[in-house]
A and B are shown apart, each in its own frame.
Chain A
């Protein structure tokens, strides 16, 4: 079985409350949003600082909705599952690679991604077309080595896919509500009712010095 590995220096995620109505507008039929509370789903922004991959080093921003994982008897239970509805990369090579191999929906121009450490916080700034689209800051807590399984669902035309992804590295995860996101009015964020995304993440995950490993893509009968 051939695995695809992406080494990273930093990967930061924020989990934000947003209306389930908005989540359902984004999700294709067959995928259900995980609700934090009744009527409140989870928008996730993850920004990677990849240092090694088949297409070299690059930055990547992934905008996702957290969805119900697929559970099969005898298989390892995933920590969570997500539906990435928009991926943006800093290089064309990375974008073409991810579209071809993983069927991920992309912002079709290079974006600029800058990481700005400040004390125990890390801020990622994403700009497209020369304009800012999103800035997200997360804080750290305590660091522990982890190896967690996640699922990513993709839709490409009438075909549905599942990628099982292992995230390894040092992880800080907490719900201290110290982070923040600013989503700018920009075509990049057209799928979100920006004013209804709560700007403080209820969960902040920061991983560093690790690797993201994809198992081969699986085509699903239904999504």
Chain B
């Protein structure tokens, strides 16, 4: 009986707390939170948190080898978790380009982009990205995170105001913090609230939105946001991390999709999603790019992108431009999944993109659901508070053009069966 009581007490350590409880803590020693966090994490990990960061031992293709974080066994799983939306990262021509670049340049750039780290292929990739986005120029960053942090802090200052969607990616928020600007959050995808908050604000104003929001898979209501921003004299930055190379007639992104390429002032994207590589970029006029080159600290205080990676990205971009049917296949797969989820009564919220949240809406059950799904052959991760609001837990799915209809049907059937068994859907 006493043992059972202790077990119950230990369980409550896990269930009563979450990551948010270990962020803040006053006291006289910066390591005071380590002990309580360790105690919690020791319980949280076997209860489901082990599902995060399970190591892969294969390419992020549609099927992956994953080492189970609890048992250590390696399993072949159907991959619904990678960002590799067009299946480009492991294409033969991409790998070959990287191999050739290794032979020519070696491993790394060995320098800052403003000193010795810029190679000919960096300039070529920047030119090709600018051409693809139909802009005058582009500038490369080591990661998408670095692109937001570096770009926002390069153009905004103390005394300015940045208006961010409440669901903004951490890189946008951190960019605003680094800029030391006043930061105002508007309700998610809500132009009316943005309008209310822009009212009466003087000085330099920047509105930051994302083409596709990564936790909900919904698309920015860009026409309304741009209209409000312009009426209040604010500039607009769109982060198209999850939408560049996918949306729009030419794959330029959500701004192109809405015919607002010219109205949006600043265009940012990443190479880690649809190209399956790494890095970020900003596109715009020559003056803008020269200015960001001078003041984008996250960029020039980092080593430049590794040349083999850049070579692979160039090959990937060539595939995107040469094979528009890849985008068509992706949207066909997205439509298939949306239809099948609807038929099975599975709630994917407001998603209209390749990012689909399967809403579990039960923080206590989401890890058990995710474990069961992995046991039945699917690789995906649960998302829970504080990454999303309390009781809005979900399984996040990334659909790829590389998935076959058989892959997708298998995924739907496994997810539906587990959700029914757990009473999440009927």
Contact A39 B32 (CB under 8 A): no
Contact B26 A70 (CB under 8 A): yes
CB distance from A153 to the nearest CB of B (A): 10
**In the complex, which residue of chain B has the Cβ closest to the Cβ of A71?**
B25
Contacting B391 at CB < 8 Å: which of A32, A74, A77, A176? Answer: A176
Q: How far is the CA of A51 from the CA of B24 in the complex (A)?
A: 34
Which residues does chain A contribute within 8 Å of B185, judged by CB atoms?
17, 37, 39-40
Contact A38 B32 (CB under 8 A): no
Which residues does chain B contribute within 8 Å of A182, judged by CB atoms?
none
Q: Tell me whether B232 is interfacial, beta carbon within 8 Å.
A: no
From B101-109, B176-184, B205-213, B314-322, give the one contacting chain A.
Answer: B176-184
For B, the interface residue count at a CB cutoff of 8 angstroms equals 27
Q: Tell me whether A119 is interfacial, beta carbon within 8 Å.
A: no
Evaluate whether A74 and B35 lie within 8 angstroms (CB atoms) in the complex, with A141-B391, A203-B390 already known.
yes
Q: How far is the CA of A202 from the CA of B20 in the complex (A)?
A: 15
Q: Considering the complex, which residues of chain B in the window 11-42 have a beta carbon less than 8 Å from any beta carbon of chain A?
A: 16-17, 21-22, 24-27, 29, 32-33, 35-36
Which residues does chain B contribute within 8 Å of A40, judged by CB atoms?
183, 185
Contacting B16 at CB < 8 Å: which of A38, A79, A174? Answer: A79
Q: Tell me whether B166 is interfacial, beta carbon within 8 Å.
A: yes
Contact B389 A71 (CB under 8 A): no
Evaluate whether A174 and B176 lie within 8 angstroms (CB atoms) in the complex, with A70-B26, A72-B27 already known.
no
Contact B183 A39 (CB under 8 A): yes
Q: How far is the CA of A146 from the CA of B24 in the complex (A)?
A: 22
Contacting B32 at CB < 8 Å: which of A17, A73, A173, A203? Answer: A73
Contact B26 A73 (CB under 8 A): no
CB distance from A11 to the nearest CB of B (A): 18
For A, the interface residue count at a CB cutoff of 8 angstroms equals 26
**In the complex, which residue of chain A has the Cβ closest to the Cβ of B177?**
A38
CB distance from A96 to the nearest CB of B (A): 31
Annotate A60-74 by CB proximity to B: 1 below 8 A, 0 otherwise: 000000001111111
Contact B176 A71 (CB under 8 A): no
Contact B26 A37 (CB under 8 A): no
Q: Tell me whether B392 is interfacial, beta carbon within 8 Å.
A: yes
Contacting A71 at CB < 8 Å: which of B17, B32, B173, B392? Answer: B32
Contact B173 A77 (CB under 8 A): no
CB distance from A199 to the nearest CB of B (A): 11
Contact A174 B390 (CB under 8 A): yes
Contact A37 B166 (CB under 8 A): yes
Annotate A186-223 by CB proximity to B: 1 below 8 A, 0 otherwise: 00000000000000001100000000000000000000
Most buried by B among A34, A39, A146, A148: A39
Q: How far is the CA of A79 from the CA of B12 in the complex (A)?
A: 12
Evaluate whether A69 and B177 lie within 8 angstroms (CB atoms) in the complex, with A38-B183, A148-B16, A175-B392 already known.
no
CB distance from A168 to the nearest CB of B (A): 13
Q: How far is the CA of A39 from the CA of B168 in the complex (A)?
A: 14
Which residues does chain B contribute within 8 Å of A80, judged by CB atoms?
21
Contact A73 B35 (CB under 8 A): yes
Which residues does chain B contribute within 8 Å of A141, judged by CB atoms?
391
Contacting A77 at CB < 8 Å: which of B21, B26, B385, B392? Answer: B21
Which residues does chain B contribute within 8 Å of A77, judged by CB atoms?
17, 21-22, 25, 36
Contact B26 A71 (CB under 8 A): yes
Q: Considering the complex, which residues of chain A in the window 171-185 have a beta carbon less than 8 Å from any beta carbon of chain B?
A: 173-176
Evaluate whether A68 and B26 lie within 8 angstroms (CB atoms) in the complex, with A40-B185, A74-B35 already known.
yes
Contact A175 B177 (CB under 8 A): no
Contact B177 A34 (CB under 8 A): no
CB distance from B361 to the nearest CB of A (A): 10
Contact A71 B27 (CB under 8 A): yes
Contact B389 A70 (CB under 8 A): no
Contacting B27 at CB < 8 Å: which of A70, A79, A176, A202? Answer: A70
Which residues does chain A contribute within 8 Å of B16, judged by CB atoms?
79, 146, 148
CB distance from B173 to the nearest CB of A (A): 6
Q: How far is the CA of A111 from the CA of B26 in the complex (A)?
A: 34
Q: How far is the CA of A70 from the CA of B36 in the complex (A)?
A: 13
The 9 closest A-B pairs by CB, nearest first: A71-B25, A175-B389, A77-B36, A39-B183, A68-B24, A175-B390, A71-B32, A68-B26, A38-B183
